[in-house]
Every structure is written in C-alpha cells, then in structure tokens.
Chain A
Amino acid sequence: MHRYASHQMVGRSAYAGVMIEADKIGSVLPGRFPALDIGQSTGTSEIGEKSFSELLADGIDRVQNLGEESEQLSLDMALGRPVELHQAMIAATKAQIALELLIQVRNKLIEAYQEISRMQV
C-alpha cells in the first residue's frame, strides 16, 4: 500500500476501538512501547513523523530480536552451556508476548481497514 495512503487511512479511521492518530500513538497504546521512539532524530518529545507501517515494522523487528534471543538461549542450554533455566523460560515468554501483541495490533488494523472498505460511497 502506498505509504501516504496508509497514513491517511489510519488517521481518518472512525473505528471506535482503533482511533489511532499517528502522532499520538505513544499515549494511546499501553505502556511505553520502545519501538515507537526509534528513529526520532529531531529530539521532539512526541512521536510525530513515523508512519504506522514503520511502527509495525519496528514491532516486527522487536519480535524477531526477542525470538532470536530465546532461540539462542534454548540452544545454549541444550548444548550444556551455563544458562539458567529461568532465563531461557523468561526469554521464551517475552518472545511469545511480543508476538501476541503484534498479532493483535495487526488484527485491529485489518478490522479498521475492513470497516473503512465497507463504507458506502
């Protein structure tokens, strides 16, 4: 999808549950989702210029990193290296939570898109 179009679409979404304005995502999503702040080079305190597709890409990167870390720890444990059991379990849990979050964000996005596309012209 063209980046400008996706930004516009999300910005105008009337779906009550997903009223995401791209410049206020930090205050809408729960917690401090660190991926939202990556790439801020101007030093402003608001999220500002990032499009939602970039935020989604950051989320995917985060899931990827956590997943790799979890896999590495499990591998180390299987090879007998000194890895604490709870570290491996916790890394696996964090990866699982990150993935679930990404899936839910994607689901909401798709729901919003479908709501928009059902609008009569």
Chain B
Amino acid sequence: MSLYSSLDIAASGMTAQRLRMDLIADNIANASTTRTPQGGPFRRHMAVFAPRQSPPPHPGYPPGSRWHDDPMPYAGVRVVGIAQDDSPFTVVHDPGHPDANEMGDVLYPNVDPIMEMVDLIESNRAYEASMSVFETTKQLLMRTLNIGR
C-alpha cells in the first residue's frame, strides 16, 4: 500500500465514471439515429466495469521482500468493455420515412432518454463520491505532514 494508493484508486473511479458519462451523452445524442454504418438503428451503449488488477510490484522491490510478496489486492476500477444493449428497437409506423421498411415501420434506437438521465445522475454522484475520497485523503496526508511541526 503506497502513499498514493487511495489517490490512484479514486482517480480510476473518476475515469470510469467520465467514460460512462461520455457513453450516456452519445446515447442521448443518437436517440433518434435510424441508420448506422453497420445497418439498422443505433444501439444503446453500456459501460462494463470490473475491478482493476493490482499493478505489478514496484520494480525496486526484490523478490523475497515483503512488499514483493504482498502486492496491493485492490487497485480501483477499470472499464473492460463497452457493451451494446440487446433490447428490442422501438417500432414506429411511418411509411414516409426514408428508413421505413416494406411494411412502413421505422426502427428507432432502444434509447430511453429518461433512463439515460437517471444513469447520468447516478454517474454524476459516483464521480463526486470518488472526488470526495480524493479530497479527504489529500487533506489527511497534508495534515499528517504537519505532525510535529
């Protein structure tokens, strides 16, 4: 556990939530996108998080020293992938639309703006929570440095 481990873990949390916010922004912006290069309408993105593997021990720790054999078991969060939501598309009957199929139905993305806003609020709070951890840790470290002054 190094001096900066809490700071790095909080940083990884903030990075993950920032990515999630980017995806939410993309979902909302593309909520009416009926054609994509892959064909079909836009599919909602979701971020998949997993715990980050602890980084390899510092190269300065020789094998056999206690810092080499006991690396940090926790190192924050990382994004393992961006998944696509497999829920069915919204079907709207609109024969005049350029992307209408032969039955006059248009497939719209499976993006619900209300759900996206809820996800955005949740992501915002998670980002702020990581920021609180960072601020608190930093304050404690700075006050620790004043011991005995």
Contacts and interface: CB of A to CB of B under 8 A. Distances in A.
Interface stretch (A4-12, A26-34, A113-121): A26-34
A38 B149 CA distance: 28
Contact of B2 (A32, A38, A93): A32
B18 A86 contact: yes
A37 interface: yes
Interface in A62-121: 84, 86-87, 90, 93-94, 97, 100-101, 104, 107-108
Contacts of A108: 148
B82 to A, nearest CB: 17
B65 interface: yes
Given A32-B2, A84-B15, A97 B62 contact: no
A40 interface: yes
Interface residues of B, number: 28
Interface stretch (B3-11, B45-53, B87-95, B106-114): B3-11
Given A40-B60, A100-B145, 19 more contacts: A30-B144, A32-B1, A32-B3, A33-B3, A35-B60, A37-B61, A40-B65, A43-B64, A44-B65, A86-B15, A86-B18, A86-B131, A87-B15, A90-B10, A90-B134, A97-B4, A101-B145, A104-B145, A107-B149
Interface of B: 1-4, 7, 10-11, 14-15, 18, 58, 60-67, 131, 134, 138, 141-142, 144-145, 148-149
